[in-house]
Structure 1
């Protein structure tokens, strides 16, 4: 059974070639870019002529636009910092050829940070959202970031992982989460969330304790400690920006 595969990207030139090389075999390969200013779109055109420019109005809107360009009944979603593995490709083929028992499937992801596969910190298996789904029964909610979804049928889980390299280094984490903290503060404001001063202390502390202790990030060595601290910092900045936007 054929399926469409879409990639969303923005100013991710360092990742694009490796990402698209891992899915160059796709029945239909679609790249949705949001007016990158680097070579992201140019690299994409080396792999497919189906490269679309879509204004960024939130990740939910962006993903639904990407799905609308897909022509097959089944769709696989891949971000530019992810890689398809041969094992996952084969599992998808077997599931679709046998007749899917669900209308959407979560996919485990192996995340790498500072040269190490992070097995703890809540980063594995890291089922973010279904990445394989039946187009007519699945839709992303129109949320600006960390978008959820609605599915009109059963949801299942695949076992073979995709690979993700979300941050090249600490500087890349900080740059990426400067944008994400803006989007999260905006989302919280739109949801009517109210700021309280204790959130600047309790929420970052809770994030660190959860990742490093409860989710055993200490077992990931120095990268686990750094990652837990970085997410605590991100949480602090997110609530500081919420205060700034709602003051």
Structure 2
């Protein structure tokens, strides 16, 4: 039986901790086939982002069309969407699928990564058609709830919150891992969530499974000393010896 297909629409991370690298590794760990659409190439490492070169909207559209027409993904996961045109494109072409939007507009450091036009495109076009959005606290505050969609507000304080319009918040508790090696955590969480939804999990089950996966990966990388800055969350997995 074929595995579900999930496509990530996101930027690259030359340090391998976040973006498409994190998404594809997480998809593989969850038994889905990962496809990718590159929205921007970034030069970054554990100390920060040095440069960003967005793909043209036409190139993003060409990649996305190739994946949608040939592989017919069950779910779509977004990361860094570098231009308002790309945000609108994803909203137009992916609204009929499971759509997990990780609105990469504010970094863990608090730095704003998207201009006002991109933020407005999220509010007006993409968030209203998302199955679920996974902003961190700063992103949630910046984007607001005008879109009225389902949101999982993520964070490292020991619980995530599923916020569904017209319903009480549902807490998703998880252990806190004390580590500075957490670069890529948001990408990893949203990718795991998309993979579990593609397998047919309900949103609460998928959210709990994604949180548990992130905790396990943070424990793996907790004491790593990779890089000179905020180190990567682990995307390694136990090696299984081949049977002779």
Query: TM-score normalized by structure 1?
Result: 0.30
- As a proportion of its length, which structure holds more helix? 1
Q: Larger Rg: 1 or 2? A: 1
Query: TM-score normalized by structure 2?
Result: 0.31
